[in-house]
Amino acid sequence: MIFVRSMFLLMFLLLQSDLASAQNVLWSARMENGDLSDWSKDDCGGQFNSGAAGSYATNAIASSGAWSVRMDIATPSEPTSGTRLFRWCEPQKNRQLYYSAWYFIPTQHSVPNFWNIWQWKSKTSSRNDPFFTLNIGNRSDGSMHLYLFDWQRRNSYGQTSANIPVGRWFQVEGYYECAADNTGRVIMWQDGQQLFEVSNISTRYGDGDCQWSVDNYSDIVQPSPASIYIDDAAIGMSRIGMATTSTSTPPESGSGDTTTRTSRKQKKRSRS
């Protein structure tokens, strides 16, 4: 009897945890419809491409479920190639939000300049620019790592805590406080480990909004084309965490991928 009660209590606690998690999340995209409609839901986002680029739902690999997004670019391009999946309603309505997405990069790449995979932008009647971007760079041994770039002030924030795993899903989570004055704040985590925190800074234009996107955007990435897979994107009111785990294996060549159609100084044109 004690065992039965304990099991019921455990089930109740798990149910409450799932309910709290569901209430915390304002929006999510798992692509389980076999398309990218989650991103454009309620006319609050969508796909935006430039150069030789595109995003597609695919069942070749997934962090959870059966589907994810494959984001492809071909470089070099004049001046850049980029594919972006945006959400704007949630950051427009909420000053403080948490953002999460799972990434899979199947191949080691060399990044001579910049490779933007995540960004927050601010749009006005006359401007539409990044404020903070999350980029991939290379260490001296060629391994890939994340760095945070303040596009408005041309400041780059590096870290030595974590490299990007090749051929394995990893989670990126961010906190963004949307503020026109110096009360903004940005925090970034990789697989639950904090990499960056920038406080007391403006994170939008005075007459602008805040928008978020996951990206595959660069002027040159080698080898080319370069593909990124993304799954289980979400926006929430508190930490989303690493609840999603993956046992997926890398997609094999010809495996039947089904698609549904600094201080690094970056150039001024390297915007989304």
* pLDDT of 163 strictly over 90: yes
Residue 265: CB atoms within 10 Å: 11
pLDDT digits (tens, 9 = 90+) for 90-145: 999 999 999 999 999 999 999 999 999 999 999 999 999 999 999 999 999 999 99
CA–CA dist 80, 270 (Å, integer): 8
Question: What band does 9 get if pLDDT is binned at 50, 70 and 90?
Answer: very low
**Residue 270, pLDDT score:** 40
Whole-Å CA distances, 244 to 51, 72, 102, 123, 172 = 33, 24, 9, 32, 12
Q: What is the mean pLDDT of residues 185-197?
A: 98
Q: What is the mean pLDDT of residues 173-191?
A: 98
Four-point Cα dihedral 168, 65, 87, 268, nearest 10: 20
Q: For 180-184, 194-198, 265-269, which range has the lowest pLDDT when averaged over its residues?
A: 265-269
* pLDDT of 248 strictly over 90: no
pLDDT cut 90: percent of the chain above it: 79
pLDDT digits (tens, 9 = 90+) for 198-221: 999 999 999 999 999 999 999 999
**Residue 2, pLDDT score:** 57
**Residue 10, pLDDT score:** 43
Which residues, at least 6 apart from 77, have a Cβ–Cβ distance to it below 8 Å? 51, 52, 219
Four-point Cα dihedral 230, 234, 49, 117, nearest 10: -60
pLDDT digits (tens, 9 = 90+) for 33-55: 999 999 999 999 999 999 999 99
Contact present, 135 and 270 (Cβ < 8 Å): no
* pTM recorded for the entire structure: 0.84
Name the DSSP class of 35.
S
